[in-house]
Chain A
Amino acid sequence: MFSLQPGITPLPIVIAYFIIASIIAIFIVKKGKNKMKLMDFVVAGIGGVIVAFADHVIGDAIFLPSPIYPFVNPPVWFRILVFIIVIGVVRKVGAGMLAMGVFDITGDLIHFSFTGEPLWLIEDVLTYGIMADVVIYLTQGRIFGIGEKKLQALLAIFEGGILGIVFSFVHPFFTYGFIAPIVFGFVPDQARIFFLLISYIPGDIVIGAISALAANRVAKVVRSGI
């Protein structure tokens, strides 16, 4: 049923990715030193909704002709910007997955409906969410240079850029290349998948780096006031 032709991401690859991601999720949540508190759950919840608002309301309001879209992609850029700020504010393992879970549910309610659930929920949590949480885990909560004494801006640009690169793979291979065809009933095009990947990477890296710098600043303002 599923094959490389005409462009769908092979099922074994998708299943293998999500199984490995689930194992990593359990591992980092168990091993994470700083556990999320009630305050962090609230911030992640509100943050998830702001991600949905920025992506599905502000981002979608900027309507661009389709050829420009992958290069200049306001919904995805707004999603990256706001999501990175949210994880920068919480900075605890689990925040990424939780914020993405809330984003998915509220995004469903205001935009796509529950079409295709729980596939979208699994996708968002175990792609964007886990990627951010892995960076939080590896940096031991000092993500985007927050809390570091030196090279804060450089670390923010580096980590934001890395997140931008890994985020670029999600939409072409999982969203357009696997789940959307099943849910909406269209046939994906292999040429478009590779075009989406190539066109996403530059913008996502730049936006990731800018968002990380913004997160560095916003996290200080927000955390000092709450």
Chain B
Amino acid sequence: MGFKGFEKLTTYVEYKTPYHLLHPLTKLLIVVIVTIICAESIWWVDLIIGIASLYFYYLLRRIRLILSFSLLQMIGSVLDYSYFVSPVVLREIFGNNLTIIWKFPSYFVFMGFVPYLTLQAIIYSFQVSMRIWTMLMYSGLIFLTTTPSQIIRSFHKMKVPMSITFAITVGLVSLPRIFDTADTIIKLQLMKGIGYKKRIKFLYNLRAMFESIIPLFIYEFKKAKTVSISAETRAFMAYKKRTYIDDITFSKIDKIVVTIMIAALIIDTYLVIVGMIPSIPFHP
């Protein structure tokens, strides 16, 4: 997917989806409620909720990108967790008959590894990674459907100090540009011949990525001057409060979505409590 792919996943997409109509705080509330539902429910609940988000990615023409990015992340999470799941926890969930796939060398125990990699550890790690996948899908939608000015206004509503709001907004605005700049710097490194005629290109690509950090710094920080002068010429931060011509309000659709999400949370919690939806045990 490359840096261009990251840039596409972090840049606002001009399109009329139902998600675009929502207040930024409603989008944040959706992520929070999805987080709670995912945390208390079994993996297939997370999967269903995550799949629902694909509709919006389809409308935004980012479905291939988000699937490739999130599936890679899921594989990484499964690998990462499966080495360290305590057998005590696994026996609590799956019983005593654990299917051993791989036996680690004995000294791996000192690194916190469990002695055996089991099929049940992979299943358990998959369950853990599924909740991360769903949360990632919904937080990604915030980036794609919210403009920086909407973020500023919503932070303002939350009474966040203007200086902090400003720094965060500058950061968010800079993010796609940083991907773009890094991509350009790395390509320039490759054009200069880094890794030319070498068999393993990957290591040289990594070197080009590493070497892009310092030029990126200098390039972006020099732009900071322009940004601060522009803000100062508009008397930014001269007063603690600001007024907006186009203020964002909580519309009818926000109220409906918030009601649906709270209802979904209550229903899910009830079903988990009565045992109709199992959950991943955390404290054995």
- A residues with CB within 8 A of B: 1, 6, 36-39, 41-50, 52-54, 57-58, 60-63, 66-67, 70, 78, 81-82, 85, 89, 98, 101-102, 105-106, 108-117, 181-187, 189, 191-193, 195-196, 199, 214, 218, 221-222, 225-226
User: Which residues on A sit within 8 Å (CB–CB) of B184?
Assistant: none
B276 at the interface (CB under 8 A from A): no
Would B170 and A101 count as touching, CB distance under 8 A?
A: no
Least distance between B158 CB and chain A CB atoms (Å): 12
From A109, A196, A222, give the contact of B112 (CB < 8 A).
A196
Least distance between A5 CB and chain B CB atoms (Å): 10
Q: How far is the CA of A187 from the CA of B88 in the complex (A)?
A: 10
Q: How far is the CA of A54 from the CA of B104 in the complex (A)?
A: 32
Instruction: Give the dominant DSSP class at A's interface.
Output: helix
User: Which residues on A sit within 8 Å (CB–CB) of B261?
Assistant: none
B14 at the interface (CB under 8 A from A): no
Q: How far is the CA of A41 from the CA of B161 in the complex (A)?
A: 12
Would A66 and B280 count as touching, CB distance under 8 A?
A: no
Counting chain B CB atoms within 10 Å of each CB, which of A82, A101, A109, A196 scores highest? Answer: A109
Q: A6-B88, A186-B85 are in contact. Are A108 and B139 (CB under 8 A)?
A: yes
B122 at the interface (CB under 8 A from A): no
Q: How far is the CA of A155 from the CA of B73 in the complex (A)?
A: 40
Q: A45-B174, A115-B135, A187-B89 are in contact. Are A109 and B220 (CB under 8 A)?
A: no
Chain B positions 154-174 with a Cβ under 8 Å from a chain A Cβ: 163-164, 166-172, 174
* Chain A: CB-nearest residue to B31: A114
User: Which residues on A sit within 8 Å (CB–CB) of B170?
Assistant: 41-42, 45-46
- B residues with CB within 8 A of A: 3, 6, 9-10, 28, 31-32, 35, 38-39, 73, 76, 79-81, 83-86, 88-89, 108-113, 128, 131-132, 135-140, 142-143, 163-164, 166-172, 174-175, 178-179, 182, 206, 209-210, 212-214, 216-218, 220-225, 227-228, 231-232, 236-237, 280, 282-284
Q: How far is the CA of A226 from the CA of B225 in the complex (A)?
A: 6
User: Which residues on A sit within 8 Å (CB–CB) of B128?
Assistant: 184-186
Q: A41-B163, A57-B6, A102-B168 are in contact. Are A50 and B222 (CB under 8 A)?
A: no
Q: A106-B175, A113-B140 are in contact. Are A58 and B111 (CB under 8 A)?
A: no
Would A222 and B222 count as touching, CB distance under 8 A?
A: yes
User: Which residues on B sit within 8 Å (CB–CB) of A37?
Assistant: 228
User: Which residues on B sit within 8 Å (CB–CB) of A183?
Assistant: 39
Would B111 and A110 count as touching, CB distance under 8 A?
A: no
From B80, B164, B232, give the contact of A101 (CB < 8 A).
B164
Would you list the 9 A-B pairs with minimal beta carbon distance, nearest first? A192-B112, A113-B139, A45-B170, A45-B167, A113-B135, A45-B171, A102-B171, A113-B136, A39-B228
User: Which residues on A sit within 8 Å (CB–CB) of B178?
Assistant: 46, 49-50, 53
User: Which residues on A sit within 8 Å (CB–CB) of B108?
Assistant: 67
Instruction: Give the dominant DSSP class at B's interface.
Output: helix
Least distance between B257 CB and chain A CB atoms (Å): 17
Q: How far is the CA of A100 from the CA of B6 in the complex (A)?
A: 21
User: Which residues on B sit within 8 Å (CB–CB) of A115?
Assistant: 35, 38, 131-132, 135-136, 139
Would B167 and A181 count as touching, CB distance under 8 A?
A: no
From B79, B138, B227, give the contact of A113 (CB < 8 A).
B138
* Chain A: CB-nearest residue to B73: A111
Q: How far is the CA of A42 from the CA of B225 in the complex (A)?
A: 8
Would B39 and A98 count as touching, CB distance under 8 A?
A: no
Counting chain A CB atoms within 10 Å of each CB, which of B28, B81, B174 scores highest? Answer: B174
Least distance between A90 CB and chain B CB atoms (Å): 10
Q: A112-B136, A187-B284 are in contact. Are A53 and B179 (CB under 8 A)?
A: yes
Q: A43-B221, A185-B280 are in contact. Are A50 and B228 (CB under 8 A)?
A: no
From A44, A70, A181, A214, give the contact of B282 (CB < 8 A).
A181
From A82, A98, A111, A116, give the contact of B167 (CB < 8 A).
A98
Least distance between A48 CB and chain B CB atoms (Å): 5
User: Which residues on A sit within 8 Å (CB–CB) of B109?
Assistant: 191
* Chain A: CB-nearest residue to B213: A54
User: Which residues on A sit within 8 Å (CB–CB) of B35?
Assistant: 113-116
Would B31 and A113 count as touching, CB distance under 8 A?
A: yes
10 contacting pairs across A/B (C-beta < 8 A): A52-B175, A66-B79, A89-B221, A98-B167, A113-B31, A114-B28, A191-B109, A221-B218, A222-B222, A226-B224
